Amino acid sequence: MARTVADFGLTRGTLPAGTHNAITDVPGVRVGHCTLRDGDVNTGVTAILPHGGNLFRSKVMAACHVINGFGKTVGLMQVEELGTIETPILLTNTLSVGTCATALICDAIRQNPEIGRTTGTVNPVVGECNDGPLNDIQAMAISEEHALAALADAREGAVEQGNVGAGTGMSCFGFKGGIGSASRKIALGGGHHLGVLVLSNFGRPGDLLLPDGRRPDPRRQAEAERGSIMVVLATDVPLENRQLERVARRAGAGVARLGSFWGNGSGDIAIAFSTGNAIDHDENRDLVPLLALNEARIDILFQAAAEATQETVLNSMLSAEAFTGRSGTHRASLADWLRDEAKRR
């Protein structure tokens, strides 16, 4: 079971969480993992599906925001230009981005044999963080089959968090990082959700700031911030591409609340999508009606994005158990630190 900020009495902001307190509280969104743990190989793939149908045929509105661009993603240029996502989103380690992109292309062609022949090509979306300290990243252990396994594992409901999937070998603020998720209910037009999933692998040891003001000490010497974070935001509020980019930008506020300053060597990237409008690949109308949020109501989404991102990172760390990886490299658990701190009081 995922351990969250609520289990440790940490505040989670003022907006209420959804039923699962996860990105899957957005109806239709699915998450799956494939985890590799074998000696020095500690890595994996995490898949986020905006819906369970054919994404190439029924795309979702999307946008991205690069907080700091020290990253090796695939597909963001077209997302920025066209404002849609047409494959699942895969997260993995830095040297496995190409493999995961190929897997997404092959999966899309399997579902749509006309890709690249009688219709356009497909734009795979893959994000990454460097899990090298805990994983033998040069082994390039991720295969296309692992990426497809993560897609096949994707499901609605509770999201497995911590040392799982792409988060298996990640570190955060000197502690063990990984996969985390959270959500917020949005009181607009009858009720909606905004959900966030992160791959946390950033922050200098000693910089972490908890909501109650404490600064956990991982007992590791401070060093340059060279990690990364991938933030995926989902909502069923109908938003235009431009509005989604504005929401994605607020993920940076959630990261900053934790004490990060987005260092020179950190790749901090947010991808946001909305399931509120389906974009038909075969649309033949000249003018297409789209539902969009009244801009005067967007502040609640900004707040939800900042709150949920902050909580999601903490959930990724609290769900992650202490871990010893490649060449004996060790990362302590934030949950263990909090329990030890409570005993000392």
- For the question of residue 268 being annotated catalytic, the response is yes
Give buried/exposed letters for 115-147 (b at 16+ CB in 10 A, else e): beeeeeebbbbbbbbbbbbbbbbeeebbbbebb
Bridge partners (DSSP) of residue 308 are: none
Look up residue 108 and give its two tokens.
Answer: 């899309």
Give buried/exposed letters for 256-294 (b at 16+ CB in 10 A, else e): bbbebebbeebbbbbbbbbbbbebeeeeeeeeeeeebbe
Task: Residue 220: name the closest of 201, 206, 202 by CA.
Answer: 206
Which one is catalytic: 268, 274, 316, 333? 268
Which one is catalytic: 181, 183, 228, 274? 228
Which one is catalytic: 260, 266, 316, 333? 266
- For the question of residue 58 being annotated catalytic, the response is no
Burial class from Cβ neighbours inside 10 Å (0-12, 13-18, 19+) for residue 156 reads middle
- For the question of residue 266 being annotated catalytic, the response is yes
Phi and psi at 258, nearest 5°, equal -85, -5
Q: Which residues are catalytic?
A: 228, 266, 268
